[in-house]
Amino acid sequence: MRPSRLAVLQTSRMSATRLLMAKAIRERWRIEKLRWQIDERARGTALYRITTGDMPFDFIVHSFEPKMEGRMGRIIGRAWDMMAALVEGPVCEDDVRTTGEEIRKLYAGRATPGTLIWARSNRSARVFNHTVDSLAAGHQPDVPTLAEACYLMRNTGLDGNGTFGTRSFRSLEDTHPLRRPLDAQMLSAYMMRVFSIDLVNHLARCRSDKAVPLAPEIQRFLGVGNGSALGLNLFVNNHPKLIDAWIAAREHAIVAAKRLPVTAGDPRLAQLLALIDRALVFRRQDRMEYERFAASAEVAAGLAVVREAVRALFESGMVNGIRPRYPLAALADSLDGRVHDEAFETLMGLLTELVPELCDRLAEGLAVDEEYATEPDMSIGRLQDIVRSEYAWAFAMDLDSESSQRYVWYKSATAEEPRRGPRSEAGDVFNLGLDLPRLIRALDSEIATRPAAQTVARFLLECPRLRFIVARTQTLSGLRFHSPHMNMMGEELVPCDITRLINIGIHGLDKTRDYLQRALRGVIYQGAPTVDDLAAGARLDWFHPPEPVL
Amino acid sequence: MTARIIHVSVRESRMCVDRILLVARCLPGYVSAVRDCVLLSQALGLGGFEHLLRHYERLRMASLEAVAVTDDAAGAVIDAGGMHAWLVAPAVADIGVDIARRCGRADLRVRGVEERRELATVCALMPRYGAAATYRSEDAGGATLLVTNASPPRTAAQWDPLLHHAFRHGFAVDEALWRSVYALSNSALAPDSVVSRRHAGPVILKDDGTLFGRVPQDDDFDPNMLRNVARTPQEHS
């Protein structure tokens, strides 16, 4: 659970984008454009309907002409090119109008009943403009230019789960199509992509009678951009049960895949080989620059080694000359440490594609509450046993040096932006970061001065400041993956390691590169089916697309 | 004019109440426990958000040293030392459950508590522990809580029925009251500044006006957003 290790986990069949797309493909979700009242300057309203079979959803889009003033890829920005709402449908005219009025107020606005998500996004100006210019001129955009960003519009905010009056996800019915964690956000992200494609086609048509539509191959190649930052570190603080459930489910799927009884020529090995080939090309063609994280060329080199090992297994049924009982487990063991961690984790992620039904079943168990409760009659001796056995890592950390306590986490009055700064600069702010190792040590120290038989109820009467950490520790006891082993207040923490765990592993983003080790940019749904593909029945292995050749 | 009622989500409520309790200088490690009492108070039709708004300054606390617990054969006598009921309710619940687990029931007589009727929130906390409680106010100014053991909760609805209901339906609140709660909670947020804006984002604007860090190539941004701090409310312009 070290942050640097969590940062290298790669996308898998358990990632939210893959889970949602699999469901949409399996159930043949239909997406219709019911209204398009957008002018030649991109101003106006659009309305989409997503028919899932069980329930329709409407995606209400309010589109704006881009402007530079107040534009910024952070939540403190004040200019967006599109604001939208994902609402349980069908919506009425009043819903469309009210959403348009309220969504512009943002933090002072209230969502209409049945709203799941408020979303907003901005264009990647260069790629967007290049695409419109090209289409208007009657030809497709230049692939190398597109590949610099890999999207037309970038998500700058997906708010739901009670925010602004949206529906709490815990209130969603058992039959609700978007009841799994992150499904509603990921559907909104997909709809951003749909809108961005419709918008470039529309603007090109407005400009020229000779305009051509964006080719389906390019539509698939383009995803939707994403910017994430410090807030996901606080998300991890506040969702330990979800983090545990997701990592445990992913591990479960990997172990199940490793236990598959594959032999030479097994079609599952052929499938794995094909997936690795695609991942290899995807990495070789990646044009992004990474700072903290490995260059794709390095990962590709590792994948080439992985490919050879899988090929040998496919052809001979053996790993290093031995016919093991669990060949894929032996294969993984033989590669662990031999190739770059991201290449190894790519293999782990691809293994889960061999057990898709299991992943879908596991996904149904990801919806967990995040409530804590004390166990008042537990002895503090027992509590100390838990602390010492489950949090040994917290006792091995430097928590005394100046650098280990230099930072504070807080939110700004403007847009409630999560920030992390030196205490000396931040001033008198309320720390919002979870100082887990210090809380654990403080708890241990206080317990040590009291009789082991004292109950938690009496202990907390004397130490109410420790009530939260006691409840958290008792509630999470026995879970293995709930909290990264990190000191959030220290200089050594690299925040984007945690952001990357969420963005890549859980959300399923590609090409996530860091900026100043605290902000991440990435791409969602690169390679995903188009609206037409979904209706026609798309392939499940849509990810890691090669650059299109037209 | 008729007040407009809005339905505020559990998430929004928790966020705002937490922030107000921080502003009130409640112990940070005790905030979530007190917050739960505020939300249960709202759900029970007691003081709730309105009471919080009027009296949040009384929720300042550094310890529970003022609280004295005297065990007896029936349970315990708890002198709250003049503290607000929301501050002592979590501790009263813990003590009641602790005694009931060992003795089968706990008869708690609570004295010296401010806003005594808010102790009814203790009863609402009990299902979380697999316990039940009844509340009775006494003429002398105190209250009695009888805590008994019950089946452990197996579902979210059993764990906290009021919270479960609130997750589905929100808390019905007068909009003007909620706006006041929200405004007060915002005082827990840090005032913005040029220096503070360096504490997030892909680039940093240095004192000499140059940028530190590589600018994302897919991004267009208004550098004035880093040079000046907008005074206007956050709204799409």
DSSP A346-358: HHHHHHGGG-HHH
Residue of B nearest to A103 (CA): B236
Give the model's pLDDT for residue A125: 85
Let me know: does A118 contact A157? Beta carbons within 8 Å. yes
| 8-state DSSP, B3 | P
A398: alpha, beta or left? (left if phi > 0; alpha if psi -120 to 50): beta
Give A471→chain B minimum CA distance, Å.
10
3-class state of residue A17 by DSSP = helix
Question: Which H/E stretch holds residue A119?
Answer: strand A115-123
What is the rounded CA–CA span in Å between residue A228 and residue B190?
Answer: 21
What is the rounded CA–CA span in Å between residue A226 and residue A223?
Answer: 10
Query: Do A83 and B11 make contact, defined as CB atoms within 8 angstroms?
Result: no
Give the model's pLDDT for residue A9: 98
| 8-state DSSP, A507 | I
Max Cα-Cα span within chain A: 84
pLDDT at A81 exceeding the cut of 80:
yes
pLDDT at B229 exceeding the cut of 90:
no
Tell me the pLDDT band of B232, cut-offs 50, 70 and 90.
very low
Q: What ranges do the domains of chain B cover?
A: 5-186, 194-236
Contacts of A425 in chain B (CB under 8 A): 195-196, 198-199
Query: Mean pLDDT throughout B42-61?
Result: 96
**A142 Cα distance to chain centroid:** 29
Query: Do B11 and A415 make contact, defined as CB atoms within 8 angstroms?
Result: no
Give the model's pLDDT for residue B43: 98
Interface test with B, best of A127, A170, A286, A368 (most B CBs within 10 A): A170
Give the model's pLDDT for residue B222: 83
Dump pLDDT digits (tens) for B105-150. Answer: 999 999 999 999 999 999 999 999 999 999 999 888 899 999 999 9
Number of neighbouring beta carbons within 10 Å of residue A277:
16
Give the model's pLDDT for residue B230: 62
DSSP characters over A277-303 = HHHHHHHHH-----SSSPPHHHHHHHH
Query: Do A516 and B11 make contact, defined as CB atoms within 8 angstroms?
Result: no
pLDDT at A159 exceeding the cut of 60:
yes
Query: Do A414 and B229 make contact, defined as CB atoms within 8 angstroms?
Result: yes
Let me know: does A215 contact A508? Beta carbons within 8 Å. no
Q: Which pTM does this prediction carry? A: 0.95
Give B199→chain A minimum CA distance, Å.
5
Give B224→chain A minimum CA distance, Å.
8
Max Cα-Cα span within chain B: 73
Dump pLDDT digits (tens) for A176-231. Answer: 999 999 999 999 999 999 999 999 999 999 999 999 999 999 999 999 999 999 99
Contacts of B167 in chain A (CB under 8 A): 168, 170-171
